Chain A
Amino acid sequence: MVVLALAFYLFAGITIASGVMVVATRNPVHSVLFLILAFFNSAGLFVLMGAEFLAMILVVVYVGAVAVLFLFVVMMLDINYAELKEGFIRYLPIGALIGAILLIELLVVIGAWAIVPTAEERAPTPTAMPEGVTNTEALGRLLYTEYVYLFQAAGIVLLIAMIGAIVLTLRQREGVRRQRIADQIGRQREEVLAIRKVEPGGGVS
């Protein structure tokens, strides 16, 4: 138990610290690297909770795909940081005001949570893990039965994202040399090959 608690505080502490560093660090590449660290530690927290599948997905999808994409974008884009900082200072007062209002709202909400007498019994209880079933299988059973409607709908959302990306960015450019394998294979010797007799010292006219 002590080991578990230690591991939890280790992961949680590093997650929060790297979260702070993401915002605080000057170099955006370092920000992304800290973000990756935060993802890894969140994955550790998921493992502690017994959600191995989510932990693995977090590493594979977020670290493997999203964060690397971020890294590429940050490295490729030429962002003027001085200008960004300027905007930050200018909008600081209004941002702080909105933040304060949101904080007060949250406090009110959390305060009410304690007051509402039925909150405890209303809180949904986590579904017990069926015996002898792995994490992934349990999620799959839910996803493909009870939530199949949402699963399919989410698939269509992704399809639209793909169509949208193609519609908005794909250009048929003129004068681009493409490899046409069928043409290459279908080439006849006569079309492309000519044998010339070259006289010694005469050259090719």
Chain B
Amino acid sequence: MIDLPGLLPALPEIFLACAGMALLMIGVFHRGDATRLVSGLTVASFLVAALILIGVAEERVVSMNGLFIVDGFALFMKLLVLLGSALAVIMSLGFIEREQMARFEYPVLFLFATLGMLMLVSANDLISLYVGLELMSLSLYVVAAFRRDTVRSSEAGMKYFVLGAVSSGMLLYGASLVYGFAGTTNFDQLAAFTLDSTGIPPIGLIIGIVFISAGLAFKVSAVPFHMWTPDVYEGAPTPVTAFFAVAPKIAAMALFVRVLVGPFGDLAAQWQQIIVVTSLLSMILGAFAAINQRNIKRLMAYSSISHVGFALVGLAAGTPEGVRGVLIYMAIYLVMNVGTFACILCMRINGRMVEGIDDLAGLNKTNPLMAFALAVFMFSLAGIPPLAGFFGKLYVFMAAINAELYALAVIGVLSSVVASFYYLLIVKLMYFDEPSEAFDRPIGSGMSTILVGASVFNLFFILAPAPIVDAAGAAAGTLFNPPPAVLEAADAAAAVE
């Protein structure tokens, strides 16, 4: 039976779900256009959810009959997700109003997608994992196709939907294999099972893990499950792309880490090879395939593939240090991407959106501040030292070297050198080429605040990295301290023998 205290850890999710339904009502019954009002309230709901999250945070609570978990790791990732979603909603507002797609369902779908992400991050069971994943994906399919009158947007939504359904199928197949061989879907019990299955684990379990990893690799768009990314990023409306590049990636990465390190942590030798290969391929493909792209959204898609590869380096290490690296990487990745997409959203000439990288030519002459901000983000994405992006890479590569994955670290650094080619190309275009046409101004106060904030974070992260690094370290630690349930179950198993 569930008593009321059992609901307390899930309070942020319950609040968001209720807020979503209330906002739907407001949107339907509000006279006139409710998009602006609903967007504002959505951001406010994210804020309240974050406050509740911090308020009810405890050490490690499992509730809802073992389906739901809150720990330091979940707290850290959920705050990142909420921040990413809130910024995406703020960035969207101007765009959807200009492009005649301002409908109040848009922020509400963002809100439900975020709810799904929070549930994903807190999943403690394969079933709750799947339900959270579907909740997130279903909302994302709809927002990808939100501009239903343009062919590209509908195509993006359709492609994402079909491939997403296939990946969900793979994930479910893997989950059913895991259930068949371990006899449980609960993460704590799975951890206990892998802990006391000495010697070679059942092969079915390993095949199950492979399928689950494949499904999750699709969601984070790691190679070889990346094919949908460039098309969907290009076709979806730009603020939706900004959202895709940030919040769902963080949530799926959190889930990836939790599933592999939590229940299957003792099978690290089995899944480590998969992650190493995926990470290598993602870094290399992301670096090389982006070189020829002339559309900045496609370029950012390949860039995000390579960044996922870098983050997976930390997971491949499989140590608390590696997980800390992943957390720091995702936090910095969020800021870099939000900043870059804020710039992309400002690329308007005479009220028309442009997406070619050649349109950025000579930006320094027409709008020096924006050129400077974009240059900061590009240097940061490339991982040039004093900027934040460098530290993200530093921590994951350090973890990889300490875990003796030398080849992975060396290839990672080399591919990041290749990747800096196209980041620097954009900087070169902005500063050394002749300007074509100036972008429209003003860009709006919300947008400029985001640009300034993201640039300041990227520039001055070096001065005070401690808050994020310490928080990430503490969050990573909670994932590794063997939770009491595992030990109890292991003790019980030992007593039976």
B 92-124 to A, binary, CB cutoff 8 A, 1 in contact else 0: 000000000001010011001001000100000
User: Which of B21, B115, B193, B204 is close to A109, meaning CB atoms less than 8 Å apart?
Assistant: B204
Nearest 7 A/B pairs, CB to CB? A164-B142, A149-B64, A122-B183, A112-B203, A153-B131, A146-B65, A109-B204
* Contact B10–A149 (Cβ < 8 Å): yes
Count of CB-CB pairs between chains A and B under 8 Å: 92
Interface residues of A in 152-186 (CB under 8 A from B): 152-154, 156-157, 159-161, 163-164, 166-169
Residue of A nearest to B196 (CB): A118
A124-B181 CB under 8 A given contacts A112-B203, A150-B67: no
* Contact B128–A150 (Cβ < 8 Å): yes
- Verify if A88 is at the interface (C-beta below 8 Å from B): no
Interface of A toward B, CB cutoff 8 Å:
105, 108-109, 112-113, 116, 118-119, 122-124, 145-150, 152-154, 156-157, 159-161, 163-164, 166-169
**Distance of A123 Cα from B141 Cα, bound (Å):** 37
User: Which of A105, A161, A168, A169 is close to B207, meaning CB atoms less than 8 Å apart?
Assistant: A105
**Distance of A149 Cα from B119 Cα, bound (Å):** 10
Residue of A nearest to B202 (CB): A116
| Number of residues of chain B lying within 8 A (CB) of chain A | 44
**Distance of A112 Cα from B10 Cα, bound (Å):** 39
* Contact B207–A109 (Cβ < 8 Å): yes
A150-B135 CB under 8 A given contacts A109-B177, A109-B203: no
* Contact B142–A168 (Cβ < 8 Å): yes
* Contact A119–B202 (Cβ < 8 Å): yes
Q: With a CB–CB cut-off of 8 A, which chain A residues contact B202?
A: 112-113, 116, 119
- Verify if B17 is at the interface (C-beta below 8 Å from A): yes
Q: List 29 A-B contacts (CB under 8 A).
A: A105-B207, A108-B203, A113-B180, A113-B202, A119-B181, A122-B182, A123-B183, A148-B64, A149-B64, A149-B67, A150-B67, A150-B127, A150-B131, A153-B131, A153-B135, A154-B131, A156-B17, A156-B115, A157-B131, A159-B112, A160-B109, A160-B135, A160-B139, A160-B142, A163-B24, A163-B142, A164-B109, A164-B138, A167-B146
Q: With a CB–CB cut-off of 8 A, which chain A residues contact B203?
A: 108-109, 112
Q: With a CB–CB cut-off of 8 A, which chain B residues contact A164?
A: 109, 138-139, 141-142
Q: With a CB–CB cut-off of 8 A, which chain A residues contact B148?
A: 168-169
Q: With a CB–CB cut-off of 8 A, which chain A residues contact B157?
A: 168
What is the distance, in angstroms, from B397's C-beta to the closest C-beta of chain A? 35
What is the distance, in angstroms, from B31's C-beta to the closest C-beta of chain A? 16
Residue of B nearest to A109 (CB): B204
**Distance of A35 Cα from B206 Cα, bound (Å):** 35
What is the distance, in angstroms, from B447's C-beta to the closest C-beta of chain A? 25
- Verify if B2 is at the interface (C-beta below 8 Å from A): yes
Interface residues of B in 123-148 (CB under 8 A from A): 127-128, 131-132, 134-135, 138-139, 141-142, 145-146, 148
Q: Supply 12 further A-B pairs (C-beta < 8 A) apart from A119-B181, A122-B182.
A: A105-B207, A109-B177, A112-B204, A113-B204, A122-B193, A150-B131, A156-B17, A159-B112, A164-B109, A164-B138, A164-B141, A166-B105
Interface residues of B in 159-212 (CB under 8 A from A): 177, 180-184, 193, 197, 202-204, 207
Q: Which of B17, B103, B177, B182 is most buried by chain A, counting CB atoms within 10 A of its CB?
A: B17
**Distance of A156 Cα from B141 Cα, bound (Å):** 15
A167-B64 CB under 8 A given contacts A108-B203, A145-B2, A156-B115: no
Q: With a CB–CB cut-off of 8 A, which chain B residues contact A161?
A: 138
Q: With a CB–CB cut-off of 8 A, which chain A residues contact B193?
A: 122
What is the distance, in angstroms, from A200's C-beta to the closest C-beta of chain B? 54
Q: Could you tell me the dominant secondary structure of chain A's interface residues?
A: helix
**Distance of A9 Cα from B139 Cα, bound (Å):** 44
* Contact B138–A149 (Cβ < 8 Å): no
- Verify if B1 is at the interface (C-beta below 8 Å from A): yes
Q: With a CB–CB cut-off of 8 A, which chain A residues contact B109?
A: 160, 163-164, 167
**Distance of A100 Cα from B94 Cα, bound (Å):** 52
Q: With a CB–CB cut-off of 8 A, which chain B residues contact A168?
A: 142, 145, 148, 157
What is the distance, in angstroms, from A57's C-beta to the closest C-beta of chain B? 19
**Distance of A146 Cα from B181 Cα, bound (Å):** 23
Residue of B nearest to A121 (CB): B183
Residue of A nearest to B145 (CB): A168
Residue of A nearest to B132 (CB): A153
**Distance of A139 Cα from B103 Cα, bound (Å):** 40
- Verify if B68 is at the interface (C-beta below 8 Å from A): yes
Residue of A nearest to B139 (CB): A160
What is the distance, in angstroms, from B331's C-beta to the closest C-beta of chain A? 27
What is the distance, in angstroms, from B345's C-beta to the closest C-beta of chain A? 22
**Distance of A119 Cα from B179 Cα, bound (Å):** 11
Interface residues of B in 13-37 (CB under 8 A from A): 17, 20-21, 24
* Contact B142–A147 (Cβ < 8 Å): no
Q: Which of B127, B128, B180, B204 is most buried by chain A, counting CB atoms within 10 A of its CB?
A: B204
What is the distance, in angstroms, from B53's C-beta to the closest C-beta of chain A? 17
User: Which of B67, B108, B119, B127 is close to A163, meaning CB atoms less than 8 Å apart?
Assistant: B108
Q: Which of A154, A166, A167 is most buried by chain B, counting CB atoms within 10 A of its CB?
A: A167
Residue of A nearest to B106 (CB): A167
Interface residues of B in 388-444 (CB under 8 A from A): none
What is the distance, in angstroms, from A174's C-beta to the closest C-beta of chain B? 15
Q: Which of A113, A150, A166 is most buried by chain B, counting CB atoms within 10 A of its CB?
A: A150
Interface residues of B in 308-342 (CB under 8 A from A): none
**Distance of A153 Cα from B67 Cα, bound (Å):** 12
**Distance of A161 Cα from B142 Cα, bound (Å):** 9
Residue of B nearest to A155 (CB): B17
**Distance of A109 Cα from B105 Cα, bound (Å):** 45
**Distance of A169 Cα from B146 Cα, bound (Å):** 10
User: Which of B1, B68, B138 is close to A160, meaning CB atoms less than 8 Å apart?
Assistant: B138
Q: With a CB–CB cut-off of 8 A, which chain B residues contact A147?
A: 65, 67
**Distance of A147 Cα from B193 Cα, bound (Å):** 22
* Contact B128–A153 (Cβ < 8 Å): yes
Residue of A nearest to B149 (CB): A171
User: Which of A116, A148, A152, A160 is close to B181, meaning CB atoms less than 8 Å apart?
Assistant: A116
Q: With a CB–CB cut-off of 8 A, which chain A residues contact B10?
A: 149
**Distance of A56 Cα from B148 Cα, bound (Å):** 38
**Distance of A168 Cα from B147 Cα, bound (Å):** 8
